[in-house]
């Protein structure tokens, strides 16, 4: 299956969504390298509002093989009794949309790797994958791009409730939706956002690039 056939939306759209979310999160000092839940909430909201797609954020245990030759994999989970499980302190979040899962955070996996003090750096790539391309278990990961994702609905509901109770997080997600414009229309290079003290500040749209797709 080609990388092209895995895409739900064009790469230009994917990158623009990533840029908007990252710019908003960076402006709020949201520990962006580990803000997978806010990336997923923002991405799902943009897909629903601007693309009229049924998109939902999902949290769970996730592993991605980033270097099959060296057997280096990014794993977002906790291990209990030799089993991979997700928890509030060990999970990843992606957007579920039809037959696909999309990770709008994957272009900054190099930053995530450094922040987590891994002894390897995952490359910056886009992630739009059909669910049926997933391995059946974490042990099935062997080549670059192999992934396993096990959603945790209880954790997802808990995280959604936390956002619902946070005016700041709701404002960040709304800012992403308001700022985003679908290509080929031009997108504003900046927006005005209120900071933690209610003072308006200018937030500039940051650049982003990827070296291929998972």
* Structural domains of the chain sorted by starting position, each given as residue range(s) with its CATH number in brackets: 3-204 (3.10.550.10)
pTM listed for this prediction: 0.94
- Please list, residue by residue across 135-165, b when 16 or more beta carbons sit within 10 angstroms of its beta carbon and e when fewer do: eeebeebeebbbbbbbbbeebbeebeeebee
The closest alpha carbon to 116, from 82, 86, 90, belongs to 90
Q: What is the model's pLDDT at position 177?
A: 98
Render pLDDT for 114-146 as a digit per residue (tens, 0 to 9).
999 999 999 999 999 999 999 999 989 999 999
Q: What is the pLDDT of residue 30?
A: 87
Antiparallel, parallel or unpaired: β 55-67 and 100-102: unpaired
pLDDT, residue 172, reads 95
Q: At what angle do helices 11-27 and 167-179 cross, to 10 degrees?
A: 140
pLDDT of residue 29: 86
Quick one: pLDDT at residue 80? 72
Q: What is the pLDDT, as a whole number, of residue 5?
A: 66
The whole-number pLDDT of residue 200 equals 84
Burial 55-75 (b: 16+ CB within 10 A, else e): bbbbbbbbbbbbeeeeebbbb
Residues of the chain falling short of pLDDT 50: 1
Structure tokens at 142: 């062997």
Distance in angstroms (rounded) separating the CA atoms of residues 75 and 54 = 27
């Amino acid at each position: 299956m080609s990388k092209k056939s895995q895409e739900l939306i064009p790469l230009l759209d994917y990158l623009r969504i990533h840029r908007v979310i990252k710019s908003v999160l960076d402006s709020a000092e949201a520990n962006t390298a580990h803000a997978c839940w806010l990336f997923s909430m923002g991405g799902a909201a943009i897909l629903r509002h601007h693309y009229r797609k049924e998109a939902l954020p999902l949290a769970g245990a996730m592993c991605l093989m980033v270097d099959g030759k060296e057997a280096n994999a990014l794993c977002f989970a906790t291990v209990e009794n030799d089993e991979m499980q997700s928890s509030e302190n060990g999970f990843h979040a992606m957007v579920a949309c039809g037959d696909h899962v999309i990770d709008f955070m994957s272009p900054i996996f190099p930053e995530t790797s450094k922040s987590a003090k891994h002894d390897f750096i995952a490359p910056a790539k886009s992630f739009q994958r059909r669910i049926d391309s997933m391995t059946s278990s974490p042990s099935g990961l062997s080549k670059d791009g192999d992934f396993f994702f096990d959603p945790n609905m209880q954790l997802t509901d808990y995280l959604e409730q936390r956002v619902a109770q946070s005016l700041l997080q709701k404002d960040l997600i709304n800012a992403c939706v308001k700022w985003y414009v679908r290509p080929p229309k031009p997108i504003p290079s900046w927006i005005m956002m209120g900071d933690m003290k209610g003072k308006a500040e200018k937030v500039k749209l940051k650049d982003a690039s990827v070296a291929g797709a998972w």
